[in-house]
Amino acid sequence: MQEQEAFNTPEQPARTPLRELTKVTTGPRAQFSSTLHSSSSHITSSRRQPYSSLKASLRKGFHSSVKSATPDPEGPGIAAFLLTALSFLLIVITVPFSLCLCIKVVAEYERAVIFRLGRLRKGGSKGPGIFTVIPCIDTYRCVDLRTVSFDVPPQEILSRDSVTVAVDGVVYYRVSNPTICISNVENFSHSTRLLAATTLRNVLGTKNLAEILSERETISHTMQSSLDEATDPWGVKVERVEIKDVRLPVQLQRAMAAEAEAAREARAKVIAAEGEQKASRALKEAADVIQESPSALQLRYLQTLTGISAEKNSTIIFPLPIDLIKSFMK
């Protein structure tokens, strides 16, 4: 009877090798062996489960063990802690000489962006005033917050009406966020200069020559808005853009000068014709008045003689009036 019960009792799985492996090994292998041990016990207790569910449980246990054994890449790491501790030890040993290397000063218009072992330190930029750094593991860069101006080189631009002009300008900008300015772009000053030249060509390419010459303020405002929007991810604020000079080709200058001269001559002729027309109307009215009054004609005659005699010393002979001669003849 006992032999039959022993025959009917199912065989228990051998767990001794897995336990021994767990005791001997350490680290990720130990965790993996423990996971494998739990998975094997789970397989023994539930033999009727499908194969896919058992495979998923094994995979899940393996990934969890590997993840727990892998160090966090975002953390500083053991080497960073060792270097930091060594740097502090050197500072303590070399006091007070090390204070000259640890204490830094930035001006009111400057900010310092500090990196520790290549990572940006918490708290953002430092300054103005005194701040501390740890030699050998800290590096810093100072950023000037004052407004900076630069000239945009003359750009050869083809306007909308197919006229080639050379236009230059000046841009005023400042750093609004020192941390972003250092970490997001390699050289913010050079990048801003290149972007300003490109924006000048793009904006003026949509205007004709008359608009370029007459709407400088509108063009400057459009360029300022476009540049400010593009440099905002760099931590740069574009405050103002001005168009300095618009240079035209020599032939175009001569043509425009001839056109302007012809327009001036035409306006002068129109003005002269209008003056003659008004003068002729006034003379006609005067002639009508004189015709109605003979004495007015004689008075005008005397005024003319007076004007002639005032210019030069001359002798004027007045002819006797015909009416007076007739009276003597009678």
- CATH of region 150-248: 3.30.479.30
Which phi and psi (to 5°) does residue 118 adopt?
A: 85, -10
Work out the mean pLDDT of the chain and round it to a whole number. 75
With a threshold of 0.75, does the pTM exceed it? no
Instruction: Sort strands 119-120 and 103-106 into parallel, antiparallel or unpaired.
Output: unpaired
Spell 94-105 as b/e; 16+ CB within 10 A means b: eeeebeebeebe
Residue that the structure tokens 């065989």 belong to = 11
Q: How far apart are CA 164 and CA 235, in angstroms?
A: 35
The H-or-E segment that residue 217 falls in is helix 216-231
The per-residue pLDDT for 14 is 45
Q: Between 293 and 138, whose confidence is greater? A: 138
Confidence of residue 2 (pLDDT cuts 50, 70, 90): very low
Provide the CB-side half-sphere exposure for 274 (13 A, CA).
6
Q: Where are the domains of the chain?
A: 2-65, 78-144, 150-248, 254-323
Confidence of residue 325 (pLDDT cuts 50, 70, 90): low
Single-letter code of the amino acid located at 56: A
